[in-house]
Amino acid sequence: MRVSLRIDGRAGGGRADIAIGPTQALLEALDRTGSLQGVAEELGVSYRSAWGQLAALEHALGRPAAVKTKGHGSVLTPLGAGLLALLKASQVRLGPALAAEEMALGDGLRRLMEPDVARIRLAASHDPLLLEAVESRPEIDLMVAGSLDALARLREGAVEAAGFHYGSDDDPPPPFDGVFRDADLAVAPLFRREQGLLFAPGNPLRLTGVEDIAARRARFVNRQRGAGTRIWFERLCREAGVPLESIVGHHTEEFTHQAVAALIATGAADVGMGTRAVAERFALDYRLLGWETYYLAARVSLPPARLAPLQDLIRRRAGAVSGYAPPEAYQSEA
């Protein structure tokens, strides 16, 4: 039994309240289709209803959220685009908490309804490719966590498998090295991926590396403690001789690549680290920092055949998605 939670509510303070969920759906549909007719078709409502929803939103805002342009249909105004970006950013930031609650609620419901069904509990560092693959594997219950947190949950017995990375193709640093020596765990490379610096379109601060981030006082958005991406960034700072205290925003933490990208896209931050796929999704500029291997660790008591379908699916997708590669690609390069 799968559980899907969504964010909803109302925002007040203007001429009228704004319903958050319907407003985001309306603005996303208008942004994609460029017309109220397209909105009506995408949302499954009449043209009159779509027009009424937009009119009600603009009344609440006191300003237009969209305008008609000659030959290009309707486009969002800066206010409409900014509101949509804020709503998306809120969804992204709350995503990890919702995912954790979905897993907890789903586990409880399954214990009530399906006591004999064997599930695989997976705690994993955030990755868009992994999340998409898990969606099609109903036997997997995913909890998004930092790499070190995911491994801690595996050692505690809270999950059967953990996805992690440490931001390097060199020998694993402590405490990751102990994972590969643990006789109770089976560790295998799952896929390879790029990570790089994410900037606003055009890279207005002309940033190229950690030295520039510090020197130009760029607002950096970090990942949470224990995240492999944070470990990678802190290593880059050490190698460049850049004190972490000189990075503005070093203590600003987000739990996913999407949350980092959303803050940059909305202008709340200047730079962060993330995958190429996320940069493309949010239309951000991207500067490659390097490739890394993402690993899957599982208890040796878990039959390998249980995880094989997920591993095979991810490896196939990794060969077809920008910024990813199957793990054997690194072996052939070496």
Instruction: Return the number of other C-beta atoms located less than 10 Å from residue 112's C-beta.
Output: 9
Torsions phi, psi of 247, nearest 5? -90, 110
The pLDDT of residue 111 is 65
Sign of CA dihedral 204, 209, 213, 214: negative
Residues 202-226 as b or e (16 or more Cβ within 10 Å = b): ebebebeebeebbeeebbbbbbbeb
CATH of domain 10-84: 1.10.10.10
Q: What is the pLDDT of residues 155-168, one digit of tens each?
A: 999 999 999 999 88
Estimate to the nearest angstrom the gap between the alpha carbon of 23 and the chain centroid.
22
The pLDDT of residue 70 is 74
Instruction: Return the number of other C-beta atoms located less than 10 Å from residue 12's C-beta.
Output: 9
- Report how many helices (DSSP H) and strands (DSSP E) the chain contains, helices first: 13, 13
The pLDDT of residue 329 is 57
Q: What is the pLDDT of residues 204-232, one digit of tens each?
A: 999 999 999 999 999 999 999 889 999 99
| Rounded distance between C-alpha atoms, residue 44 and residue 32, angstroms | 15
Cβ neighbors of 25 (< 8 A, separation 6 or more) are 43
Q: Are 228 and 164 in contact (CB under 8 A)?
A: yes
Domain made up of 118-334: CATH architecture: 3-Layer(aba) Sandwich (3.40)
Q: Are 222 and 252 in contact (CB under 8 A)?
A: yes
Low-confidence ranges of the chain (pLDDT < 50): 331-334
The pLDDT of residue 295 is 97
Sign of CA dihedral 254, 145, 135, 95: negative
The domain ranges of the chain are 10-84, 118-334
Whole-structure pTM value: 0.67
Six token digits for residue 307: 């995880």
Residue with tokens 């490379």: 189
